[in-house]
Structure formats: structure tokens, C-alpha cells
Amino acid sequence: MIGQFYRALQKLDAEEMVKHYHPEVEFEDPAFGKLKGEKARNMWRMLCKSSKELKITFNNIQFNDEIGNANWEAEYIFNKTGRKVYNQIKAEFEFKDGKIIKHKDDFNLHKWAAQALGIKGLLLGWTPIFKAKLNNECNKLLDIYERRNRIK
């Protein structure tokens, strides 16, 4: 299931990705914070629709009936600045009823911010204030995406 999830991401096929999510899924990462249910699914829909030059690789998939993990890497152009980003992510999963019920992505936010935002990210990307502002901005973009696509 984890491999299918990332192969779908490689193709920017959000619908294939989210079919592996449990209806009550909880997603978390440094950019969006915590998202539940349809918000988590819509985040992938938004990212797949708006991604430019996205290249995904993944490896080290390990799993059993209850938990799993993987490493994945993303190379893309950050839309807001046009800067190239190379991000290394560690993913953890929990399963319920044969679906992903919890998905947590972790990456070095300071390193990401320096690449995506340049000097501003380098100077501020490590601070809790930066993370809170980023979470707020990412969730505003998700809300706009949902309104434009009439998604709740």
C-alpha cells in the first residue's frame, strides 16, 4: 500500500493516493501541521494539481499489519518563489481496516525554508514563529482550494 501511495504521487494522481486513506485519517507534517479526514485528502489533491516539475523517489519501505514507514524525496519548484527545493522526508504510517489511519511526514523545516525562501528562510526557518506562520499560510491555501473547487 505504501508503494502504491508513492507511485501515485509520482504520477500526481491524488485520487489514487487518497483511496488508501481511512475516512478518519490524520495527517501531519511541518508545513501544514495536523489535518484530518477530507482536509488531508484535499491537501494531496491541491499539491498534485499545483506541483511544477515534481520528481518523487522513495525507498526503505517497512511495514506490518499495524504500522509502516518509508523514506521519500521530493524535488520541485516552490510556486511562491520559483526556487528549486530538494526535500528528504521520513514518513510514518498507522493502519486500520486495511487503510492508512495516521500519516506523519517529518523533514528539516529549516533546510526546506532556506531552499524555498532563500535568505529569509535561512534566517527564520528554524523558529517556532516561522513554523506557525507557515502552517497558517498553507492552511489558508488549502481553504481557498476547497472553496474554489466547492469541497468541504
Report pLDDT digits (tens) over 56-115: 999 999 999 999 999 999 999 998 899 999 999 999 999 999 999 999 999 999 999 999
Residue 83's domain comprises 2-148
pTM here is: 0.92
Indicate the Cα dihedral angle 144, 32, 113, 145, nearest 10°. Answer: -20
Give me the DSSP letters along 19-45. TTEEEEEEEEETTTEEEETHHHHHHHH
What pLDDT score was predicted for residue 58? 97
* Residue 93 belongs to domain with CATH number: 3.10.450.50
Q: Which residues have a Cβ under 8 Å from the Cβ of 68 and sit 6 or more positions away?
A: 1, 2, 61, 62, 92, 93, 95
Confidence bin at 150 (pLDDT 50/70/90)? confident
Q: Residue 57, Cβ neighbours under 10 Å: how many?
A: 12
* pLDDT score at 75: 96
In the three-class reduction of DSSP (H, G, I as helix; E, B as strand; rest coil), residue 64 is classed as: coil
- Give CA angle at 28 (84, 132), nearest 5°: 70
**17-49 pLDDT tens trace:** 999 999 999 999 999 999 999 999 999 999 999
User: How many domains does one find in the chain?
Assistant: 1
Listed residue (48, 49, 65, 46) closest to 5, CA to CA: 48
